[in-house]
C-alpha cells in the first residue's frame, strides 16, 4: 500500500467515523430535539439589525421582525445603519413610527462596530442579532427562548434556510444549509457549536459583560464570538424548528467572495483560538476542531490527488489522439459490469455519500420543513458540483491567508 493510498484510507476512515458519530448523536438525543414553545413569562428581547447598503431587503427584514409573535412591550428592534450610501436609512426610518422599531445611524466602521453600537443601547434581558438580508419566522422567538431555561446556555442559534432559491447556486446552497441545520443540532448535543450565525442568534445580554463585545475578528465576528463563548466554557444551544431565511448569493462570484471571507475567518480565528484544541474543551477540543482542520487538510490532499489523476487521464487521452488522430469510435462506450470498479474506496465513498444524504434529509425533516421539487434539484446539483466548488472556496481562502491578504467586505456587498 502506497503512502497516498494509506492517507486516503485514513481520511475516508475519519470521514466515516465522523458521519457515524453525528448520526448516532442525533439518534440517541431524538427525544430531546425540541422544547415546548414559550407561553408565559416573556422576557424582554432586543433584536439588533446592523445594515450597510441593504435597501433591497431591509424593509422585508423589519417587516418579518414586526410580524414576530411576541408581546410588543417586551420587544425592541434596533436598526443600526453603518453609514450606508444607498436608501437603507430612509427606508428603515419609515418603520420607526411602528411600535418597537428604533433606527440609528453611524459612520461606516464595519459590521462589528454596528453590533457594538446596538449593544450599547439595549437594556433587555436577551439580545438577538439579525442580518439585514434575512427574514425571521413569526414563531422563532417563542421557539428559541425556552432553551435559556438551562442556566449555562448563553446563546441559542436557529435553523438557517435559503430564502426562495431561484438560481442554480441558490438551490445548491439550500442543500448545504440543510446539511448545516443537521450539523448545528448535532453539535449542540456535543456542546460544540462554534458559530453563532448573524441571521438570528439570541444571547443573554449579560454574557457580553462577561466576555466583552464584538471584535473585528477577520470580518467573521459571528464565528469569533462563538469561539470566545466556547473558550469560556459557555453553552451554545440550537432551536432546530426556529426558521430564519437568508438571501443567498445568486451567482458564482459573490458566493465565492462570501465563502473565501468565511473560510479565511475560520482559519485565522482558529489560529487565534488554537488553545481550544485541548481535551479540556471536551468534544470540541478533542474531536470537532481537530476533525474540522484535518478535514480541510484532507480536502486539499485528496483534491490534488484527484486533479493529478484527471491530468494523467487527459494526458493519455491526448497521446491516444496524437497517435491515431481524431476518430469518433474512441467515444463509443460499452458498459460492461466487469469494468466497474469494485475497489474498497468505491464502496466506502458510496457509504459516505449515503451518510451525507441521510444527514441532509434529517436536516430537512427535523427542522419540520417540506420536501419539494426544488429540494430534489438541489440534491442533484450538490452531488455534481459541490465538491469542486467547496475546493475552490477553500483554495481561495487558504491563498488569502498565506499571502496575508484580507477580504474586502464592502466590495463583496456590492456584488450581491
Partner 1 sequence: MTNENPKKKIRVGKYLLVLLLTGVIFALGFWLSHDIDRFKLSQVDNLRQDLQLDVLSAEVQFSLLSANVCQHIDSSSLTSELYAIGQRLGYMEGALGQNNPEVIRLKKQYSLLEIKQWQLTKKAQEQCGAQLIPILYFYSNQKDCPSCDQQGYVLTYLRDKYPFLRIYSFDYDLDLSALQTLKSLYGLKKELPIVIVGDQSYYGFRDREEIEKILPKVFETLKENQQNGENEETEEVSPQS
Interface ranges with partner 1 (CB under 8 A): 13, 16-17, 20-21, 24, 152, 188-192, 232-235, 279-284, 286-287, 316, 319-320, 322-325, 327, 329-330, 338-339, 341-344, 346-348, 351
β pairing state of 201-204 and 126-129: antiparallel
Q: How far is the CB of 299 from partner 1 (least distance, A)?
A: 20
Alpha-carbon separation of residue 232 from 226, 228, 269 (angstroms): 10, 6, 15
Which residue, 160, 250, 248, is CA-closest to 201? 160
By beta-carbon proximity to partner 1, the closer residue of 252 and 321 is 321
Q: How far is the CB of 327 from partner 1 (least distance, A)?
A: 7
Q: How far is the CB of 28 from partner 1 (least distance, A)?
A: 8
Question: What whole-number distance in Å separates Cα of residue 233 and Cα of residue 247?
Answer: 32
Q: Where are the strands (E) in 5-90, listed by range?
A: 45-51, 75-82
- What does the buried/exposed string (b/e) look like for 33-48 if buried means 16 or more CB atoms within 10 Å of the residue's CB? bebebbeeebebbbbb
Residue for grid cell 466497474: 340
Residue 238 three-state SS: strand
Which residue, 378, 381, 396, is CA-closest to 178? 378
Q: What share of the chain is helix, strand, coil (3-state, %, to 5)?
A: 60, 15, 30
Q: How far is the CB of 183 from partner 1 (least distance, A)?
A: 15
Whether 242 and 143 have beta carbons less than 8 Å apart is answered as: yes
Q: How far is the CB of 225 from partner 1 (least distance, A)?
A: 16
By beta-carbon proximity to partner 1, the closer residue of 13 and 252 is 13
By beta-carbon proximity to partner 1, the closer residue of 29 and 392 is 29
Q: How far is the CB of 188 from partner 1 (least distance, A)?
A: 7
Q: How far is the CB of 16 from partner 1 (least distance, A)?
A: 5
By beta-carbon proximity to partner 1, the closer residue of 85 and 152 is 152
By beta-carbon proximity to partner 1, the closer residue of 250 and 351 is 351
By beta-carbon proximity to partner 1, the closer residue of 72 and 232 is 232
Residue 159 three-state SS: strand
Question: What whole-number distance in Å separates Cα of residue 163 and Cα of residue 336?
Answer: 44
By beta-carbon proximity to partner 1, the closer residue of 109 and 349 is 349
Amino acid at each position: 500500500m502506497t503512502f497516498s493510498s494509506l492517507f486516503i484510507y485514513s481520511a475516508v476512515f475519519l470521514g466515516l467515523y465522523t458521519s457515524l458519530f453525528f448520526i448516532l448523536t442525533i439518534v440517541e438525543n431524538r427525544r430531546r430535539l425540541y422544547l415546548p414553545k414559550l407561553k408565559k413569562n416573556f422576557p424582554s428581547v432586543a433584536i439588533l439589525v446592523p445594515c450597510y447598503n441593504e435597501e433591497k431587503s431591509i424593509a422585508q427584514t423589519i417587516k418579518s421582525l414586526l410580524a414576530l409573535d411576541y408581546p410588543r412591550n417586551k420587544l425592541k428592534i434596533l436598526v443600526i445603519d453603518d453609514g450606508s450610501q444607498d436608501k437603507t436609512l430612509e427606508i428603515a426610518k419609515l418603520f420607526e413610527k411602528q411600535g418597537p422599531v428604533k433606527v440609528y445611524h453611524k459612520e461606516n466602521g464595519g459590521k462589528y462596530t454596528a453590533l457594538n453600537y446596538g449593544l450599547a443601547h439595549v437594556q433587555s434581558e436577551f439580545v438577538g442579532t439579525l442580518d439585514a438580508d434575512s427574514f425571521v419566522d413569526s414563531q422563532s422567538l417563542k421557539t428559541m427562548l425556552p432553551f435559556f431555561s438551562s442556566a449555562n446556555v448563553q446563546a441559542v442559534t436557529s435553523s438557517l434556510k435559503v430564502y426562495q432559491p431561484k438560481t442554480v447556486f441558490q438551490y445548491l446552497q439550500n442543500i448545504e444549509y440543510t446539511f448545516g441545520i443537521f450539523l448545528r443540532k448535532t453539535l449542540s448535543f456535543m456542546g460544540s457549536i462554534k458559530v453563532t450565525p448573524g441571521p438570528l442568534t439570541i444571547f443573554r445580554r449579560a454574557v457580553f459583560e462577561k466576555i466583552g463585545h464584538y471584535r473585528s475578528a477577520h470580518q467573521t465576528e459571528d464565528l469569533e464570538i462563538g469561539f470566545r463563548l466556547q473558550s469560556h466554557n459557555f453553552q451554545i444551544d440550537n432551536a432546530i424548528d426556529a426558521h430564519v431565511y437568508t438571501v443567498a448569493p445568486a451567482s458564482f462570484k459573490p458566493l465565492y467572495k462570501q465563502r473565501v471571507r468565511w473560510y479565511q475567518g475560520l482559519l485565522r480565528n482558529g489560529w487565534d483560538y488554537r488553545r481550544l484544541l485541548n481535551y479540556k474543551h471536551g468534544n470540541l477540543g478533542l474531536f470537532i476542531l481537530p476533525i474540522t482542520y484535518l478535514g480541510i487538510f484532507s480536502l486539499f490532499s485528496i483534491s490534488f490527488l484527484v486533479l493529478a489523476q484527471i491530468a494523467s487521464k487527459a494526458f493519455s487521452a491526448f497521446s491516444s489522439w496524437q497517435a491515431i488522430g481524431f476518430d469518433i469510435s474512441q467515444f463509443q462506450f460499452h458498459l460492461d459490469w466487469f469494468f466497474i470498479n469494485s475497489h474498497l474506496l468505491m464502496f466506502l465513498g458510496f457509504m459516505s455519500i449515503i451518510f451525507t444524504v441521510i444527514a441532509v434529509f434529517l436536516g430537512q425533516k427535523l427542522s419540520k420543513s417540506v420536501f419539494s421539487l426544488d429540494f430534489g434539484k438541489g440534491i442533484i446539483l450538490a452531488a455534481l458540483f459541490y465538491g469542486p466548488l467547496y475546493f475552490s472556496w477553500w483554495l481561495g481562502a487558504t491563498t488569502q491567508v498565506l499571502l496575508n491578504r484580507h477580504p474586502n467586505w464592502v466590495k463583496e456587498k456590492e456584488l450581491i
